[in-house]
Amino acid sequence: MPLPDYKKQLLPTLKKHFGYDQFRAQQQEIIEYVLEGNDALVIMPTGGGKSMCFQVPALLFEGLTLVVSPLIALMKDQVDGLKANGIQANFYNSSQSAEEQHAILEQVINAQLKLLYVAPESLAGLSNILNERYVSCIAIDEAHCISSWGHDFRPSYQQLGFLKKSLPNIPIIALTATADKATRQDILDQLKIPNAQQFISSFDRQNISLEVRSGTEKVKQIISFVKKHANESGIIYCLSRKNTEELAKKLNSNGVPATAYHAGLSFNERSKVQEDFVYDHTQVVCATVAFGMGIDKSNVRWVIHHNMPKNIEGYYQEIGRGGRDGLPAHALLFHSYADVIQLRRFASGASNEEVQIAKLERMKQFSEATTCRRKILLSYFGELLEENCGNCDVCKNPPQIFDGTIIAQKILSAVYRLKEKEAIGTILDVLRGSQNVNILEKGYNNLKTFGIGKDIAWKDWQHFIIQLMNQGYCEIAFHKNNALQLTEFSKNVLFKGAKVSLTRPVHIAEPKVKEKVKRTKTKRKSIPTNDTLFERLRQLRYKISKEENIPAYLIFSDKTLIEMERDRPMSIMDLMDVSGVGQHKAETYGDEFIEEIMKFLGSKPKKEKKRSTHLITYDLYKKGLSIEEICMQRKLRDTTIYSHIAKLHSDGKDINIYDFVSKREVEDVKKAKQNIEGSTSLKAYYDYFDEQLDYFKIRLALSVIDK
């Protein structure tokens, strides 16, 4: 049972541990419901904030909250994130040794853990503590994995029904981003929680802006896009392994560092790509859809679909990996008929071919929409949006409608004269009067319609044909080499003078990178890239992330850094007013961030009134306190104190460096320095010593060597 006055403690707990001031929609309701001992099923989109629904209760329940999660790779990051907030958490899975596992059980027995993440197949190892004496709550993350209806079915999830049987009084909270009804029912049945209340949140992720472009000169468009989004993390989804590699290569040769990710890589290679992305070492990954499932990174700023996804579920899940921190993120999809044709080919012959093709059709409709795209997306998930969203390309650039009867007549008569045997490409060649081999060989240059459309660009013709198809004036015969064919409606246009309305193509002007820089100066966008306070804070965050070996976004989210830049806190108290700064983070990282802010503002850290932070450390050191004692007294991280020690030493203060590193270690670092070429980063040294020599030792040794 939770503490009696837990309701009063909800907001303070959220603030103290996570630094947030408010719950998001439904979070509080769910949390209270679970704290009262009820079972719940939570359906929220990716990035909606599911974790908080069991993490806050975990802090208020007396005992342990067990979190069953299918992704071993993700557990460490999740636990690191909790620890960074000063929460006692750990994970238990097959990657650990027997001793490690034993130590974790001890922690549980000694009530030293609030949350324990466990892989379903490792639950057996927890039998000693799997009882109501120790466990207060059970969360089943990614609960759709239990259902063979779902797309990520995991057999190991199917044994989870025993949990309710052995711990009947313990609330179970199941969470997933998969909405369909059959899966939901399956979750309740299999977990044996028939009375669980279902909390279904809106699937709308308003901060993700939606855009669809035609796939002409795709690579050029992508390069230009990514260059405009320098210093931002993004994912480019491709259809095939080959695509990912080719695209990554092209990006690299155009000065955009990017890596490829696909199932053909070895496990280690894949882990490395994923880790480099999560840790901000790599900003751009060209990946197949296999990439992302194990990624909680909150600062993915954009997602590009180089190819059309197979269906809307997949598309929505993939773009949902952007903007988890709630800041603006961009989803850009390239639409091409070639992709639709290829996806149809993949689907044909499958046991559920019809379903697959119907889903693809919906995806195609979304891509070709001339009305608010978000409305279409949400209606797919059964949610109706009253107003247009204002954050999709259609809303921002509403299509201009004009009388397109003559254009329609030209297209349809070309189809007619080509005897409904040719695909779009050839029709366009005829309209534009191209003299290529195919046209000349077939004698199409003698047709009456040949060259009647020279005045309109190829791209625009393509746009008009797509619209005619959407309005039912013609269709693709996929079984006849994708030939474009007439329909009942076409005759009305060709022979009965029916009028056709079309929309004008939107031309996306790709501003040059230089122009963009100018613009950002006058009108600040969400994420600045130049020498701004944000950038300095981002660099500091990156430095700490390398030292502590945890992903940067777990230290502070982009959103928190942006607020720091805006509010410029100069004291720990002010810093704690920033969203995302809980007590623990303020105490551990606050000092360094405040120092950086003051440095940026040019205000010398008020020497007379307040001694600089490293000098305060110096005072304590001179008094003979150990590093541990200084950390305790100053409520700072040991790495911070060591950085003070290094600075004091290089400033010429009386520090006996050999209290901290041995002569031997200094010698080793000196040798390493001769061997490590070019790179001066501490990480390079850290790697050189196979992670066996601590960062601070390296740093101190270098301050002796460089003297």
Contact residues toward ligand ADP (CB under 6 A) are 20, 22-24, 27, 44, 46-52, 296, 298, 324-325, 557
322, 329 in Cβ contact below 8 A? yes
Query: Out of Zn ion, ligand ADP, none, which partner does residue 372 contact, by CB within 5 to 8 A per kind?
Result: Zn ion
Distance CA 529, CA 100 (A): 43
Quote the least distance from Cβ 379 to Zn ion, whole Å: 12
* Ramachandran angles phi, psi of 417, nearest 5°: -70, -25
List binders of Zn ion among 381-420 (CB under 5 A).
Answer: 388-389, 392, 395
Query: Out of ligand ADP, Zn ion, none, which partner does residue 309 contact, by CB within 5 to 8 A per kind?
Result: none
Beta pairing, strands 401-403 & 501-503: antiparallel
What are the structure tokens assigned to 146, written together? Answer: 């239990």
Neighbouring residues of 538: CB distance < 8 A, sequence distance ≥ 6: 231, 552, 558, 561
Partnered with residue 303 across adjacent β-strands are 235, 331
Quote the least distance from Cβ 398 to Zn ion, whole Å: 9
Which residue's CB is nearer to ligand ADP, number 316 or number 696?
316
Which residue's CB is nearer to ligand ADP, number 19 or number 63?
19
Quote the least distance from Cβ 325 to ligand ADP, whole Å: 5
Quote the least distance from Cβ 300 to ligand ADP, whole Å: 11
Using the Cα atoms of residue 318, residue 321, residue 322 and residue 327 in order, give the sign of their dihedral: positive
Tell me, letter by letter, the H, E, C secondary structure of 645-706: HHHHHHCCCCCCHHHCCCHHHHHHHHHHHHHCCCCCCHHHHHHHCCCCCCHHHHHHHHHHHC
Query: Out of Zn ion, ligand ADP, none, which partner does residue 430 contact, by CB within 5 to 8 A per kind?
Result: none
**What is the CA angle 283-535-631, rounded to 5?**
100
476, 484 in Cβ contact below 8 A? yes
Cβ burial of 530 (10 Å; 0-12, 13-18, 19+) is exposed
Quote the least distance from Cβ 151 to ligand ADP, whole Å: 16
Which residue's CB is nearer to ligand ADP, number 228 or number 301?
301
Query: Out of ligand ADP, Zn ion, none, which partner does residue 93 contact, by CB within 5 to 8 A per kind?
Result: none
Query: Out of ligand ADP, Zn ion, none, which partner does residue 71 contact, by CB within 5 to 8 A per kind?
Result: none
Query: Out of ligand ADP, Zn ion, none, which partner does residue 278 contact, by CB within 5 to 8 A per kind?
Result: none
Distances (CA, A) of 428 to 316, 416, 431: 33, 13, 5
What are the structure tokens assigned to 196, written together? Answer: 């669980």
Query: Out of Zn ion, ligand ADP, none, which partner does residue 50 contact, by CB within 5 to 8 A per kind?
Result: ligand ADP
Quote the least distance from Cβ 321 to ligand ADP, whole Å: 9
What are the structure tokens assigned to 688, written together? Answer: 């050189």
684, 660 in Cβ contact below 8 A? no
Quote the least distance from Cβ 389 to Zn ion, whole Å: 3
Query: Out of ligand ADP, Zn ion, none, which partner does residue 20 contact, by CB within 5 to 8 A per kind?
Result: ligand ADP
Q: Mapping DSSP to helix (H, G, I), strand (E, B) and coil, where does residue 195 land? A: coil
* By CB under 5 A, residue 58 contacts Zn ion: no
Which residue's CB is nearer to ligand ADP, number 67 or number 193?
67
Using the Cα atoms of residue 267, residue 271, residue 273 and residue 274 in order, give the sign of their dihedral: positive
List binders of Zn ion among 581-600 (CB under 5 A).
Answer: none
Which residue's CB is nearer to ligand ADP, number 296 or number 565?
296
Binding string to Zn ion for residues 342 to 381, with x set by CB under 5 A, is what?
------------------------------x-x-------
Query: Out of Zn ion, ligand ADP, none, which partner does residue 23 contact, by CB within 5 to 8 A per kind?
Result: ligand ADP
Quote the least distance from Cβ 309 to ligand ADP, whole Å: 19
Quote the least distance from Cβ 553 to ligand ADP, whole Å: 8
Quote the least distance from Cβ 394 to Zn ion, whole Å: 6
Distance CA 632, CA 622 (A): 16
How many residues bind to Zn ion according to rule CB under 5 A?
6
Query: Out of Zn ion, ligand ADP, none, which partner does residue 395 contact, by CB within 5 to 8 A per kind?
Result: Zn ion
532, 520 in Cβ contact below 8 A? no
Quote the least distance from Cβ 443 to Zn ion, whole Å: 47
What are the structure tokens assigned to 503, written together? Answer: 């929309």
DSSP 8-state symbol, 14: I
Query: Out of Zn ion, ligand ADP, none, which partner does residue 324 contact, by CB within 5 to 8 A per kind?
Result: ligand ADP
- Measured in whole angstroms, how far is the alpha carbon of residue 233 from the centre of its chain? 9
Q: Mapping DSSP to helix (H, G, I), strand (E, B) and coil, where does residue 333 land? A: strand
Binding site for Zn ion (CB under 5 A): 372, 374, 388-389, 392, 395
